[in-house]
Structure 1
Amino acid sequence: MDHIDRKILAELQRDARLSVTELAERVQLSVSPCHRRLRSLERSGAIAGYRAHLDASVLGLTFDALVFVNMSTTARETIEAFETAVAAIEHVVQAQRLFGSPDYLLRVVAVDLPHFQRLYDDELTRLPGVQNLSSTLVMKSIVEHRDLPLGGRRG
């Protein structure tokens, strides 16, 4: 990946709706080489997909919580069942497996506190292998949906 590929990626992070013509202009390439590079970046997996960034509060999802999950076991079958079940809960918008304790961090969005409580009681507590859950409310998001740094590798 060279500096031109990084420019293409940077422009697409800022605006994924750019046409190939607009993208080519911004990175100072002709359309055909820009298109070839774009397809190559897609095939390599550097570009994993395209999507719209939605505003949760405008959509009525104003309740944002972080849920910390401790597992009762680290048996592979239980971990796989837990991760599959978490992925199926649409209100879980982020889920990370962590080193140490807790075992998982989930970000859950909901309409309000009663909605979150129902999700917590009816879905999260029933996930396979859960020993205990604890949660905290997000007061304010400071950094969210930040573009990935494309300045190259540091050694």
Structure 2
Amino acid sequence: MDIVDRKILAELQEDGRLSVTELAHRVGLSVSPCHRRLRELERSGVISGYRALVDAEAVGLGFQALVFVTMLQEDRDTVIALEEAVAAIPQVVRAERLFGDPDYLLRVVSADLAAFRTLYDEALATLPGVQRLSSTLVMKHVVQDRPLPS
């Protein structure tokens, strides 16, 4: 990966809807070489996809919480079962396994506190192998959806 590839990535992280022609102009290439580089970045997995960034509040999901999960047992089958169960909950928009305590961090969206409470009681509290859940509410997003540094 060279400086031109990094420029392509930087431009696409700012605006993933750029045409190849506009992208080529911005990175100082002609269209054909830019297109080849773009396809290679996609083929190699450096670019894993394209999507729209949706404002959660605008679609009625303005309540967000971080849920810390501490496992009672961490055998292979329990970890797999927990991760599959978490992946099946649409309101969990990000889930990360951590070193140390807690074991997982979940970012959860819902319409309001009542919807979060229902989700917590009916889905999160029933996750396999969980010893303890601890939640905190998101007050404000300070940095969100920032492009990766080049």
| TM bracket (short chain) | over 0.9
Which residue number in structure 2 is paired with residue 19 of structure 1? 19
> 1: CA distance between counterparts of 2:27 and 2:141?
32
SS in 1 for 2:59: coil
State the Cα distance separating 1:62 from its structure 2 match.
1.1
Post-superposition Cα deviations, 1:30-65, rounded to whole Å, max 9, x if no partner, equal 000000000000011110100000000111111110
Q: Structure 1 length as normaliser, TM-score?
A: 0.96
**4+ aligned runs moved over 4 Å, structure 1:** none
What do you get for the CA RMSD once the two structures are aligned?
A: 0.5
State the Cα distance separating 1:132 from its structure 2 match.
1.0
> 2: CA distance between counterparts of 1:98 and 1:24?
40
SS in 1 for 2:68: strand
State the Cα distance separating 1:117 from its structure 2 match.
0.2
Post-superposition Cα deviations, 1:57-94, rounded to whole Å, max 9, x if no partner, equal 11111111000101111100100110011011000011
Listed as ranges, the gaps of 5+ residues in structure 2 are none
Which amino acid in structure 2 is aligned with residue 98 of structure 1? Answer: L
> 2: CA distance between counterparts of 1:16 and 1:63?
27
Are 1:50 and 2:33 counterparts? Answer: no
Which residue number in structure 2 is paired with residue 94 of structure 1? 94
Are 1:78 and 2:93 counterparts? Answer: no
Q: In the TM superposition, what are the counterparts of 1:123-142 in structure 2 within 5 Å?
A: 123-142=123-142
The alignment-based identity, stated in percent, is: 68
Listed as ranges, the gaps of 5+ residues in structure 1 are 151-155
Number of residue pairs aligned between Structure 1 and Structure 2: 150
State the Cα distance separating 1:128 from its structure 2 match.
1.0
SS in 2 for 1:73: coil
SS in 1 for 2:102: coil
